[in-house]
Amino acid sequence: MSDGQHAWAARRHFSVGELREPPAAPLPRWALLSPGLLLVMAMVLPAGAVSSLNGLLVALALATVLGAGARLDAAQRRLASVLVPLLAMVGVGVGMGFDRIAEGQAYDFLKDGWYFANPMLALAAGFVFGHALQAAAARDPAHRALAQARGLRAFVLGGTAVAVLHLLWFAFNPQLLSWEATEVRGAIGTGWWAPALAVLLLAAHAGRPRAGLALAPPLAAAAALLCTASVVLSFSRVLALVTLLGVAVVLGALVRHEGRRLLLLALAGVLAILALRVVIDPESREARTSFFGKFARVPEELWPSDRLHGQEVHDNWRGYETARALRHWAAGHPGQWLLGDGFGALVALGRFQQLSPNPRERMRFIPVFHNGYIYVLVKTGLVGLALYGWMLWRLYRLGRAEARCVEPGDAGETRRRHGRLLQAMAVTLALSTGVWSGVFAKADLLAFLLLTGWLLAPSPPAAAGAGAPAEAQR
């Protein structure tokens, strides 16, 4: 075969569909910058302002889709399958509690509505960022890889910026390092979750920060150091558990044999708590004020019991409020067992309790709880719990399918990494909802929800599968 024939055979033949496809557009800066900026803004702006920004973004995206008259693509349908359970929970809560508006409890009713709607807005906003990048990257594999890497880099840089803000407290006030854990948290507050998400992303792309996160290895190492320091100095048990479990998942702990490995992780956690209880007396002052001491008191704090008095209520508040909420739910009629008491429902504490630094704000009735599952049960009943569990399971299954893909090459590795990240998001959302309010917190889990929505945008192979080049399909 002559050289001319070799050159002709080596030519790439484009299909009609490829020729009609528009060229890849430049990556939109707003979609690249917005995640990182939102993570920082969540630490300095009121939660309501951040929710308003998310809502505005989602409304504009929805108006664009409806105005174009286009049908939902596969990724948008995937997002809808995750949002529909949450939307159904809102419908149940509104239907069961709507009469409270006329009874003068409009504030409590609307407050619950906001808590339930907020995670939907954050998920949808994250999806908008990811979907915009995918649309701009079109069908060019190299352009798609760049879009994904730079998009995830925004989350890492945003988490690192939040970590720096957190660590500045200790730089300007080094005496904080000698304080007890509870005193530090009281002085600098909580909600430093964005650095934990950055740690998970850096762990998921360990060894390949330049390809997966568009970060030079020295910058990735510096970000990992800053974010890990922030997680440690937050002195948060929930944050520590979420970070450790999330790192295990993104490294592949749940790709296979999930049930067995989750059981082993739970057993390891129980053994660790038992070991701490041997070393630290659960009733000592150290157990009530130190970081590891608080871990030793987990059984007392979480066990539902309303037969407590005085300081016992304060020390075991999660268990006390859970017991009162379960009593409220059980006292209802069968319809309330199934559908809850609706938005605006208040649970009687059986006493006045100081729940804020202001001594005048002693409360006898409370609308929200530390245990997110109990919150869902009181407001939307067993049906709401089933819907929420369905949403988490849907997220996990989507991630597991991607994590188990067998496609070779860089594209397949990217899918597997993103699938493990989505698995980690589902598992950490489930864990944080059980030991803390989780997705129903004001803005603490914004980083995790934004990334979850971002990961639901099309993966490269899925986006290219419908109209791939003819030679790629042969």
At residue 295, the pLDDT reads: 82
Tell me: pLDDT of 138 over 70.
Answer: no
Range from 80-89, 132-141, 301-310 carrying the lowest mean pLDDT: 132-141
**Residue, of 70 and 200, whose pLDDT is higher:** 200
Residue 363: strand pairing partners? 353
b/e string for 6-23 if b means 16 or more Cβ within 10 A? eeeeeeeeeeeeeeeeee
Cα–Cα dist 314/290, whole Å: 16
What amino acid is encoded at 222 in this protein?
Answer: A
Please enumerate in sequence order all residues whose Cβ is within 8 A of that of 87, keeping only pairs 6 or more positions apart, or say none.
Answer: 120
At residue 266, the pLDDT reads: 85
DSSP, residue by residue, 162-217: HHHHHHHHHHH-GGGGGS-HHHHHHHH-S---HHHHHHHHHHHTTT-HHHHHS--H
pLDDT digits (tens, 9 = 90+) for 276-334: 888 888 888 777 778 788 888 888 888 888 777 777 777 788 888 999 999 999 999 99
What amino acid is encoded at 423 in this protein?
Answer: Q
Arithmetic mean of pLDDT, 196-202: 97
pLDDT digits (tens, 9 = 90+) for 113-131: 999 998 998 998 899 888 8
What amino acid is encoded at 166 in this protein?
Answer: H
Arithmetic mean of pLDDT, 250-269: 86
Tell me: pLDDT of 191 over 80.
Answer: no
Give φ, ψ of 346 to 5 degrees.
-115, 145
- Residue-averaged pLDDT of the chain: 84
The β-bridge relationship of strands 362-366 and 347-354 is antiparallel
**Residue, of 43 and 18, whose pLDDT is higher:** 43
107 in Cβ contact with 343 (< 8 Å)? no
Please enumerate in sequence order all residues whose Cβ is within 8 A of that of 372, keeping only pairs 6 or more positions apart, or say none.
Answer: 432, 433, 434, 436, 437, 438, 439, 440
351-359 long-range Cβ contacts below 8 angstroms, 24+ apart = 351/313, 353/313
pLDDT digits (tens, 9 = 90+) for 399-447: 999 999 888 888 888 889 999 999 999 999 999 998 888 888 888 899 9
**100 three-state secondary structure:** helix
425 in Cβ contact with 174 (< 8 Å)? no
Reported as a pLDDT band with limits 50, 70 and 90, residue 12 is low
Reported as a pLDDT band with limits 50, 70 and 90, residue 65 is low
Q: Which of 39, 56, 133, 178 is nearest to 455 (CA)?
A: 133
At residue 474, the pLDDT reads: 31
- Structure token digits, residue 261: 């490995």
Cα–Cα dist 414/151, whole Å: 13
- Structure token digits, residue 450: 């934004």
Cα–Cα dist 423/376, whole Å: 22
At residue 330, the pLDDT reads: 94
Range from 5-14, 47-56, 313-322 carrying the lowest mean pLDDT: 5-14
Cα–Cα dist 419/451, whole Å: 12
Top mean-pLDDT range of 138-142, 450-454, 466-470:
450-454
Secondary element (H or E) of residue 245: helix 237-250
At residue 464, the pLDDT reads: 39
Cα–Cα dist 35/140, whole Å: 24
Tell me: pLDDT of 85 over 60.
Answer: yes
**Residue, of 145 and 61, whose pLDDT is higher:** 145
Cα–Cα dist 36/194, whole Å: 9
Q: Which of 285, 293, 349, 288 is nearest to 316 (CA)?
A: 288
At residue 376, the pLDDT reads: 96
Give the residue carrying structure tokens 């041997």. Answer: 278
pLDDT digits (tens, 9 = 90+) for 347-398: 988 887 766 666 566 778 888 888 999 999 999 999 999 999 999 999 999 9
What amino acid is encoded at 360 in this protein?
Answer: R
Cα–Cα dist 137/173, whole Å: 46
463 in Cβ contact with 426 (< 8 Å)? no
b/e string for 420-447 if b means 16 or more Cβ within 10 A? bbbbbbbbbbbbbbebbbbbbbbbbbbb
